Structure 1
Amino acid sequence: MIISRCIRKTLLLSVLFTLLFLSAAPLLFAQSEKPNIIYILSDDQAWSDYGFMGHPHIETPNIDQLAADGLTFTRGYVTAPLCSPSLASIITGLYPYQHGITGNDPEFSSEKPRYQTDWQEARSRLYKDYLDEFQKHPTIPQLLQKLGYVSFQSGKWWGGHWSEGGFTDGMTHGDPSRGGRHGDEGLKIGREGMEPIFKFMDKAIADNDPFFVWYAPFLPHSPHTPPDSLLNKYLPKAPTKAVAAYWAMCEWLDITVGQLLDKVEEQGLTENTLVVFVTDNGWIQDPERPNRYAPGSKQDPQDMGIRTPIIYKWPAKIKPRMETEYLTSSIDMVPTTLAAVGMDPLPEMQGVNVMDQKALASRKRIYSMDFSHDMVAVDQPEKTLESRMIISGTWKLIAPGPANAATNEIQLYDILQDPMERQNLADAHPKVVKKLLASLNDWWPGKDR
């Protein structure tokens, strides 16, 4: 009898423990299921310069595999064909006219040579107005931190010290007296190894913290100084040494991407890590001038300046697919990331969650904009507006802005049939121009509303 009561008591305690555990399990499982997030940001690379995008010579096996394993949009676009405004959009989910960073530097006259220390310090004082406006808007590291995420900045970063972007750790100091303009110490990542990121990941794993990594290496960005082995590989294939060096830099980027993804795999994190790949802006290598881009790419509204493949890989949640029809934009990265962790986008965010098929199908157009390299007024972005762009279906329209010194004509292209934008069809399709221009003006008329 006593033994029987003991058994019943033991069984009762066991049942109670099981119920308590199960009631707590959703919370425990929810925490453990938060995906780690990695943004991989190529720097100055044309949309066509990958193996999976059909380049006949450039080898990018690691990015090719990432594309095969993920939801890959071949018709992706960035918000601007210049790195600083483009990256600011990627981290805030806002367009340049919203977050205030429309160029790389404030415009000012200086007797000191550009980029030297005195110029850098003067720039930093003037840039503060733009940085203050930018910091009114939460970044993705700041939003994720509310859920217990730790975050690491490496590579390109224009927002001062890494902490000013809401990162919990990072590499960029932002001190203008020590060359702090667009990444400084952070620009060593990739070119000088991956150890800073790996140390951060190891600590986050040891502390059981979900993590966010901003990997924005100075690759394939100039200076084009690839390892000799890569340069020699492309010299026989390229028309000039300058082109060979750029092609080699693209493969160097790919090698570092492989190293990062291998680290994720080695730690057993692949299944529940969201990896997003994009480039900040395009590039056409000038065949005769090393480290220089040709017109129609960086800082220009053509597709070679703003188009990029965009990849989302998350094996636990996203089914691999090569998407050649739907349009997407870097403006979608933040809303998609927030959806992945169960957060709603902020009201001012215009992007969509790309995991939502209905949202993708219902969107009929995306936008981009091109400003001057130097900014003149944080509260009047239209003063340096060179072009606004709208892409809808097969059509792309480029509308010149007040700062466009090259042309004042509307340009219309059948971007699927004419991806290099050689034939302006505006005169032949006035109704299409009228419709797209009306949509563009309704979105943002190029001035404060």
Structure 2
Amino acid sequence: MLRNFLMALVGGLGWVLSAGAESPPNVVLIVSDDHHWGDYGFMGHEVVKTPHLDRLAAQSVTYPRGYVPSSLCCPSLATIISGLYPHQNFITSNDPPVVGGKKRRDLKDPAFVAGRERFNEHMDKLATLPRLLGAKGYLSFQTGKWWQGDFTRGGFTHGMTKGSRHGDEGLKIGREGMQPVVDFVDHAMAEKKPFLVWYAPLLPHDPHTPPERLLEKYRDKTPSIHVARYWAMVEWFDETCGELMQLLEDRKVAENTLVIYVCDNGWIQSEDKKVFAPRSKQSQYDGGLRTPIMVRWLGKVEPRKSEAVVSSIDIAPTVLKALGIPVVEGMQGVDLLDEAAVASRKTVFGEIFTHDSQDLEVPGASLRWRWVIDGDDKLIVPDARNEPDAVVELYDLVKDVDERNNLEGERPERVKELTAKLDAWWKP
């Protein structure tokens, strides 16, 4: 089915990159890693410095109320690149099921290897952005986090990751410089090809090992060395984004490049440990799910700020619409550059699964929570199989940003209404 779709795309549209035609836009996807939604200057943080991302926000259609469907790296990234929810693309978790008491990080265990390969096979079947753009003559470059085997499994023409659990060589990007991205952009330009860059560095993700010059800026801003290190990592990540934006300017392609920013999932740094605090990564709360989403297209789209609730599920259709490529059947997102389409959608949905899959062929077997945001309200519905002791939760996200006052008992009709919307979207 995927092959037939791509052949029809090439043959039916016949987009020829001739010398006389306007060059199609390049695409750069910036994906932060383990980064709380409020930890940016433009989002109001009083200490953390993110001047380059602040500038990007000022140049973009910026959605401060963006979300990812799932608060875990692997399924979140698979959603971004495929435009499909985890229950649609079958990539629900970070790791395959634990078999026979083996530890999940025993990367050489045959059962673990086979499980990871099955995740990769699910990716093979998807009409990913690199595959769809490749049919239009694009070169594409994977760098940073990547869970689905060799970069080619996602349809990239070029890349760094060779096949380990979540990135191997790709994880050097940003932390050890930006040269691989520079080399790829120069190669694509020399070939006179439009390009897609997937920049998903292991930043500000742990290990939190920022340059000492950045750590010194934050040591006296907090009594917790763990928070200081995390804040310094955020600024380090911001610096690399600045280098990437400067590369586009230096190569005179900034105005012909669609830049999209998102974070894969949130992070709340524990004050007394190196780990993340509760109610962030892997959780059903905004601390793990919310992220600003930005779309920049200099000279083509007027910068503005929107308080509409949007989702990373919207990124793939936004790119396809901008490039004139048909949106793939099954994609439920909207074009983030279509103000009317964004305004007309009243709800966004999400789903959170177990870290280790319970069944690689049955997404519902790993489900922990489903959630929906409708207006100011957010409903969270647990799945009894994996969260038998959890309760239904309803929050007013405007009045209760930290989701502490559960209104489920006070507004039963609203719970019933939103549950019906969740079930109509997906009921395992």
TM-score w.r.t. length of structure 2:
0.94
For residue 391 of structure 1, report the CA deviation from its aligned partner. Answer: 0.4
Q: Are 1:155 and 2:144 an aligned pair?
A: yes
Most deviating of 373-382 and 266-275: 373-382
Give the alignment partner of residue 299 of structure 1, picking from 268, 272, 282.
282
Contact persistence 1:152–1:169 (CA under 8 A): yes
Give the alignment partner of residue 309 of structure 1, picking from 268, 286, 292.
292
Which structure has the larger Rg over C-alpha atoms?
A: 1
Name the residue aligned to 1:20: none
SS in 2 for 1:154: strand
Give the alignment partner of residue 348 of structure 2, picking from 362, 366, 369.
366
SS in 1 for 2:108: helix
* Matched AA of 1:408: A
Name the residue aligned to 2:177: 193
Q: Aligned equivalents of 1:190 and 1:403: distance in 2? A: 40
Contact persistence 2:94–2:355 (CA under 8 A): yes
Give the alignment partner of residue 412 of structure 1, picking from 380, 394, 414.
394
Change (3 A) 1:110 1:378: closer
Contact persistence 1:91–1:140 (CA under 8 A): yes
Name the residue aligned to 1:57: 47
Name the residue aligned to 1:215: 199
Q: Aligned equivalents of 1:117 and 1:360: distance in 2? A: 42
Q: Aligned equivalents of 2:20 and 2:424: distance in 1? A: 41
Percent same amino acid at aligned positions?
A: 48
For residue 383 of structure 1, report the CA deviation from its aligned partner. Answer: 1.4
Q: Describe the superposition over 1:337-375 as per-residue Cα deviations: whole angstroms up to 9, x where unpaired.
A: 001110121110000111112211110000111100000
Q: Aligned equivalents of 1:283 and 1:435: distance in 2? A: 31
Structure 1: 5+ residue stretches without partners: 1-25, 175-179
Change (3 A) 1:29 1:52: farther
Contact persistence 1:384–1:402 (CA under 8 A): no
Give the alignment partner of residue 87 of structure 1, picking from 65, 68, 77.
77
For residue 129 of structure 1, report the CA deviation from its aligned partner. Answer: 2.3
Give the alignment partner of residue 395 of structure 1, picking from 377, 380, 385.
377
Q: Describe the superposition over 1:292-317 as per-residue Cα deviations: whole angstroms up to 9, x where unpaired.
A: 10110000010001000000000132
Give the alignment partner of residue 226 of structure 2, picking from 242, 251, 261.
242
Equivalent residues in 2 for 1:37-436 (5 A)? Answer: 37-109=27-99, 114-119=104-109, 122-174=111-163, 180-290=164-274, 292-324=275-307, 326-405=308-387, 407-436=389-418
* Matched AA of 1:171: M
Most deviating of 35-44 and 372-381: 372-381
Q: Aligned equivalents of 2:103 and 2:419: distance in 1? A: 41
Change (3 A) 1:113 1:390: closer
Q: Describe the superposition over 1:85-104 as per-residue Cα deviations: whole angstroms up to 9, x where unpaired.
A: 00000000000000001000
For residue 113 of structure 1, report the CA deviation from its aligned partner. Answer: 5.2
SS in 1 for 2:220: coil
For residue 130 of structure 1, report the CA deviation from its aligned partner. Answer: 2.5
Q: Aligned equivalents of 1:278 and 1:85: distance in 2? A: 14
Q: Aligned equivalents of 2:104 and 2:383: distance in 1? A: 27
TM-score w.r.t. length of structure 1:
0.90
Name the residue aligned to 1:6: none
Q: Aligned equivalents of 2:79 and 2:20: distance in 1? A: 29
Change (3 A) 1:421 1:287: same
SS in 2 for 1:368: strand
Query: When the two structures are aligned, how many residues end up with a matched partner?
Result: 414
Structure 2: 5+ residue stretches without partners: 1-15
For residue 110 of structure 1, report the CA deviation from its aligned partner. Answer: 5.5
